[in-house]
Amino acid sequence: MNKTELIDKLLHLGSTIEICNSIQTSKKAKELAHNLLDEYLVSKPFIMKEPIRLIWQCKECKDVVISYSHLRHDMNYCECGKSTVDLEEHYQRGMGKVKEISRKKNIDGKWVNVG
């Protein structure tokens, strides 16, 4: 998948959410968007050798957020804005009430659990 195809799929996904306007559809669309992004990122050769994907949840609003280590200066916030994570190649900074759900490293195109 190239960048244009990714953008087209995400735009289609966004218009589908607006039409349906339900919480369950929104959650499913968010999950699909993350899967599309994973697929796109894995296919790119310019990305660091073993990027990390952190799935975390805000303990206040229960929003689930995905952070990637290869995205520089990318602070991810939950829906309520009370929790945030900045995941970089050599460090992680979190603020608020963050609960780590999953931490995986991309090794040879596959997401592998990391301790």
pLDDT digits (tens, 9 = 90+) for 80-97: 999 999 988 778 889 999
Would strands 64-68 and 52-58 be described as parallel, antiparallel, or unpaired? antiparallel
Q: Give CA–CA dist 29/39, Å, rounded.
A: 15
CB contact at 8 A, 103 and 52: yes
Residue 1 has pLDDT above 60, yes or no: no
Residue 64 has pLDDT above 70, yes or no: yes
Q: Give the global pTM.
A: 0.59
Residues in the chain: 115
55 is written with which tokens?
A: 């799935």
- Residue 38 has a pLDDT of 76
Q: Of the ranges 16-20, 98-102, 111-115, which is most confident?
A: 98-102
| CA distances in angstroms from 16 to 3, 21, 25, 30, 32, listed in the order given | 20, 8, 9, 11, 12
Of 29 and 51, the one with more pLDDT:
51
- Residue 26 has a pLDDT of 64
Residue 47 has pLDDT above 60, yes or no: no
